[in-house]
């Protein structure tokens, strides 16, 4: 389907955040980009394991990245939300 192997087929709109909450953790559902920063801040401030469930367009296949690309992307995200 995507031209490469997919390790897991995640269903759109599955409420993984509610699963984490049911297990005693902190769950956040993010539907829009504006919700992401506050959700991440609350997740990092939580005193329990946290999950931020970011809904994306299921029609768009997620990009594959090398580990070095992943490191650059997370560093950029950390800087954007003020954690660097």
- Phi/psi at 52 (nearest 5 deg)? -110, 110
Residue ranges of alpha helices (H) inside 6-84 are 16-22, 33-45, 67-80
Between the alpha carbon of residue 11 and those of residues 27, 54, 60, the distances in Å are 17, 12, 13
Q: Please give the mean pLDDT across all residues of the chain.
A: 80
Residue 80 to residue 27: CA distance in whole angstroms: 22
Q: How many CB atoms lie within 10 A of CB 55?
A: 14
Q: What confidence category does residue 56 fall into, taking pLDDT thresholds of 50, 70 and 90? A: confident
* Averaged pLDDT for residues 45-59: 91
39 near 30, Cβ under 8 Å?
A: yes
């Amino acid at each position: 389907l995507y031209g490469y192997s997919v390790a897991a087929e995640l269903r759109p709109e599955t409420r993984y955040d509610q699963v984490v909450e049911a297990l005693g953790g902190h769950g956040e559902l993010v539907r829009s980009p504006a919700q992401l920063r506050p959700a991440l801040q609350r997740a990092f401030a939580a005193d329990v394991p946290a999950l931020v469930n970011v809904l994306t367009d299921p029609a768009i296949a997620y990009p594959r990245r090398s580990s070095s690309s992943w490191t650059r992307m997370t560093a950029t995200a950390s800087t954007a939300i003020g954690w660097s």
